[in-house]
Amino acid sequence: MLSETQQMGRLHYKVFGPDEAQAGLPVLCFLHGNGEHAGNMPIEQALAMHGPLKDDDLTRAALAGRFWVVVPQLAAPGGNVWGAYADDVVAIVESVGRVYGADPQRTYLTGFSYGGNGVFTVAARRPSPWAALLSVDPPLKPLPRTQHPLWLALGDRARTEAAALQRLGFAAANEVDNSADHIFIDYGEGHTETATLTYRDERVYNWLLSRCLT
């Protein structure tokens, strides 16, 4: 089930979920990268390029209809600006939670590339309602410290000198909590390939579902 395009605040968004969804599903909000803003493509195309709604059988199998997936879209010209829309993003996911009867203790934030940066900046400005974060190959350097459970996936940037700063940021997160609440994976691939592999990885979704607000 894919909703009609809706708007809240300054963002348009769509919601995807199983056709026969039960009450209490968690919400997963995906922040897209720089190239998928409204000036470049319609939202239907943007949500299918990278992320949990990629038009790909392996991605669909990993997601397995276990979430309400919310995809907001930036207006043109896009950019590394998701943090400025933190209030809009939170308003959207809270509205979706009410409308679809989602589990308020299990709301997750994920993003790829500039959207991966947005995972950190949105959660820093609006720490609630996120139970866990999944950031995929963010170019942000260094990574900021976060109190949230974090799964960080890096690709070719993890094999460059600049990415040493990202590892330092992840190490800082581990100083706060060196546990299964902080996961680091380098898939050994390039930028977009890392997104594909991450959102095909069933372990990612299982880990998210195991994180819950108390």
pTM for this one?
0.92
Of the candidate ranges 20-24, 27-31, 99-103, 170-174, the one whose mean pLDDT is the lowest: 170-174
- Calpha distance 97→99 (Å, rounded): 6
Helices 86-100 and 114-125, axial angle in degrees (round to 10): 80
**If you average pLDDT over residues 137-166, what whole number do you get?**
77
Q: Which two tokens stand for residue 52?
A: 């949990």
Q: What does the domain layout of the chain look like in residue ranges? A: 6-209
Q: What is the pLDDT of residues 47-96, one digit of tens each?
A: 999 999 999 999 999 999 999 999 999 999 999 999 999 999 999 999 99
The pLDDT value recorded for residue 146 is: 86
Q: Is the pLDDT score of 111 beyond 90? A: yes
pLDDT band with cut points at 50, 70 and 90 for residue 148: very high
Residue type, 136: V
**If you average pLDDT over residues 112-139, what whole number do you get?**
96
Q: Is the pLDDT score of 8 beyond 90? A: yes
Residues 6+ apart with CB under 8 A from 45: 36
Q: 3-class SS at 77? A: coil
Q: Which two tokens stand for residue 179?
A: 């546990």
Q: Is the pLDDT score of 213 beyond 60? A: yes
Fold classification of 6-209 (topology level): Rossmann fold (3.40.50)
Residues 6+ apart with CB under 8 A from 9: 85, 87, 88, 91, 92
The pLDDT value recorded for residue 186 is: 82
Beta sheet of 27-31, edge-to-edge order: 6-8, 11-16, 68-73, 27-31, 107-112, 130-136, 150-154, 182-186
The pLDDT value recorded for residue 170 is: 62
The pLDDT value recorded for residue 182 is: 86
Average pLDDT of the chain, as a whole number = 90
Q: What is the pLDDT of residues 162-205, one digit of tens each?
A: 666 666 666 665 565 557 898 888 888 888 999 999 999 999 99
